[in-house]
Amino acid sequence: MAGLELLSDQGYRLDGRKSTELRKIQARMGVFDQADGSAYLEQGRTIALAVVYGPHDVRGSRAKIQHDRAVINCQYSMATFSTAERKRRPHGDRKSTEMSLHLKETFEAAILTHLYPRSQIDIYVKILQSDGGNYSACVNAATLAVIDAGIPMRDYVCACTVGFVDDTPLADMNHAEESGGGTNLALALLPRGGQIALLQMDARLHQDHLDTLMEAAMTACKGVSKVLDEVVRQHLQETVILTGE
């Protein structure tokens, strides 16, 4: 992209970060009353809201019922005011449907669905402000919301996007970096065992670089998991204090 240097000679990115530095993550759990679990997460300037209902009876078509596990229903949508240009079709378009499917697959790998046969867990994620890394912010927010709802999971699910510029992996890209052309790899990881829940990359990458990129992505996700863990412990402390002895 003419004029925009994603990585300067001194190793600084457009917003002043180093190549392995993540954006600031701030999150709060239990923000809504009606939902069983909810979380609000800010990753840099991307704001995601996740709400979980369940486990409850399967609604809608009875054909969806699984006799041995819970069905997970995910819906991803963006607020019309979340992008610089007003988004005319916030849900139902192909990108949103694809994201919803990815989220569903990610959480099916993490949630212990065999504990809730014949029931349904709904995960709704909404992006209120979009500045790159939408999928990662959604997964991180949804993890916190599922924990807030008390639904057991194998591990935290942490996600991060990484790019590759000038032979250097860039962790946690914002919108300008994502649209600058070049590789975008999204990784959702279960950090303790190093297990990959979802891996997606659309762009060309030489296979020699794949290992470096994967390493960088895993390190970034582990960084995210530390932040999420801190948020959960903080929330628990506050709740314990509020409910008394």
Partner 1 sequence: MILFNSFRTADPLEYHKSFLKENCRPDGRELDEFRTTTLNIGPISTAEGSALVKIGNTAVMCGIKAELTVPPSDTPNKGYIVPNVDMPPLCTSKVRSGPPEEQAQAASQFIADVIESSEIIRKEDLCIQKEKLCWVLYCDIMCLDYDGNLLDTCIVALLAALKNTQLPKVTINKDTDVPEVDLLQKSPININKHPIGSSFAVFDNTIIIVDPTGDEESLATAVMTLVTDEEGRLCALHKPGGTALSGEKLQHCIGRAATRHREIMKLVDKIIESMKK
Question: Which residues sit at the interface with partner 1, rule CB under 8 A?
Answer: 32-35, 45, 47, 49, 51, 53, 56, 59-60, 75, 77, 79-84, 86, 91, 122, 124, 126, 128-131
Q: Which is nearer to partner 1, 18 or 86 (CB)?
A: 86
The answer to whether 65 and 167 have CB atoms below 8 angstroms apart is: no
Question: Which of 39, 53, 42 lies closest to 82, judged by CA?
Answer: 42
Q: At its nearest, how many Å lie between partner 1 and the CB of residue 176?
A: 13
Distance in Å, CB of 88 to partner 1, minimum: 10
Q: Compare residues 91 and 118 and give the one whose CB is closer to partner 1.
A: 91
- Taking the complex as a whole, the smallest distance from the CB of residue 145 to partner 1 amounts, in Å, to 10
Tokens of 40: 């609000």
Neighbouring residues of 185: CB distance < 8 A, sequence distance ≥ 6: 161, 162, 163, 164, 199, 200, 201, 205, 213, 214, 217
The DSSP line for 89-139 is --SSSHHHHHHHHHHHHHHHHHB-GGGSTTEEEEEEEEEEE-SS-HHHHHH
The sign of the dihedral angle between the CA atoms of 6, 100, 29, 81 is: positive
Instruction: Please name the residue that has the structure tokens 């970060």.
Output: 17
- Residue 124 or 135: the one with the smaller Cβ distance to partner 1 is 124
Rounded to a whole number of angstroms, the minimum distance from the CB of residue 40 to partner 1 is: 10
What's the min distance (Å) between Cβ of 8 and partner 1? 25
Least spacing, CB of residue 215 vs partner 1, in Å: 33
**For partner 1, the closer CB: 83 or 212:** 83
